[in-house]
Amino acid sequence: MRVARQILNWIPLSFVAKLAALFRQRIILIFVYHHTADISELEAPQSIVISQSHNVPPKEFGEQISALQNAGISFINLAKIFETTLKPGISAAITFDDGYRSVRDYAAPILKNANIPFTIFLTTNLLEGDVFWRDVIAHAVGAQQSHLFLEGIEGDVNSESFSRLSTDLRKASKDPNIYKQKLFERLVNRYTRNHLKNGTVLRSLYLNVDDLKKLEKAGANFGNHSCGHPIMKSLSEENAKEEFLGAHEFLIGNDLHVSGQGLFALPFGGRDLHDNPFLPAYAQSLGYRHYLYTDGQANSYRNAELTLDRIPAPTAIDQFLYSAKSAVTRAILGRN
């Protein structure tokens, strides 16, 4: 494994793209980002939250886009894959999850200047005044207040779950075997009330509806990422469909949903770990074109049907390039 990684690190991405073209492969890389903020320009508590979250600062984000361009990779509109004639080689799509304002402030200008389309998967409750429960947890961890967040939880979870939450709150709280929607809603509400002024100090992290119209003009389109970003696997069929439908109706109500081109990105993204078995067929019944996971794989154009996969973009450019080259190599070899 180490030797293979060293070889991939040495090989330029442009060579891997030419290799894909040589084998007549049409490979689609879909990258996912969350924050694209310059933390040095922020103050607490926003800076605390982003420091504990998936953030690719503007400088690094620009380097990643340039690296893809320099490798001869073309960019596509994710909502129009089937309307796009792809040449053999590699195409890329850029996506963002949840709906953070740093995308408007930092990433969108870079993409607009390069004439690159992009997709934002919206956690729609955040545009209606809610605070993201994962951001509240990020603050508790970053402020070294996990114990305050978990105060009084012992009677609601078993001893193993409590131990894991106490050791690594961010990681353990997205485990479907530990996550309980009502329990975490209660913990988040209490923590935001006692330590985050009822969440008002975090709401500036999120986009608003007016931002969406401006982002459309910069090349954005929008997809469904649920209402509140729960772990879908832990929900009943009825509750999972409610999460999906609520976000779907928000998109329609704000003229952000294009019939027949609907996009849904599964919260947390793990096909096996996080998906609800009822959702893919439900998405299809509502006319959704693509249902996206985040398992780090490339996509073959000939298989680009309902389900697609995405690659979480690392911050460091060398890790970003390795992720891209590794995914393409696996796709060429048929090892996805």
Q: Is the preceding omega at residue 45 within 30 degrees of 0, hence cis?
A: yes
Q: Which residues have CB under 8 Å from 144's CB, separation 6+?
A: none
Claim to verify: residue 150 and residue 162 sit in the same structural domain? yes
Claim to verify: residue 239 and residue 113 sit in the same structural domain? yes
Predicted local confidence at residue 83, as pLDDT = 73
Claim to verify: residue 53 and residue 189 sit in the same structural domain? no
- Reported as a single tens digit per residue, the pLDDT across 292-324 is 999 999 998 765 568 999 999 999 999 999 999
Distance CA 95, CA 120 (A): 6
Count of domains in the chain?
Answer: 2
Claim to verify: residue 192 and residue 255 sit in the same structural domain? no
* The two structure tokens encoding residue 243: 């999460």
Claim to verify: residue 124 and residue 238 sit in the same structural domain? yes
Nearest to 114 by CA among 31, 218, 38, 34: 218
Predicted local confidence at residue 320, as pLDDT = 97
> Containing domain of residue 57, as a range?
2-132+209-332
Instruction: Give this prediction's pTM.
Output: 0.95
Predicted local confidence at residue 5, as pLDDT = 60
Q: Which helix (H) or strand (E) holds 29?
A: strand 26-33
pLDDT means over runs of 10, the chain (336 residues): 63 92 92 97 95 97 98 92 82 98 98 97 97 97 96 92 96 94 95 94 96 95 97 96 97 84 94 94 92 95 77 97 94 76
Claim to verify: residue 242 and residue 119 sit in the same structural domain? yes
Last residue of a domain, one of 162, 185, 201: 201
Predicted local confidence at residue 8, as pLDDT = 65
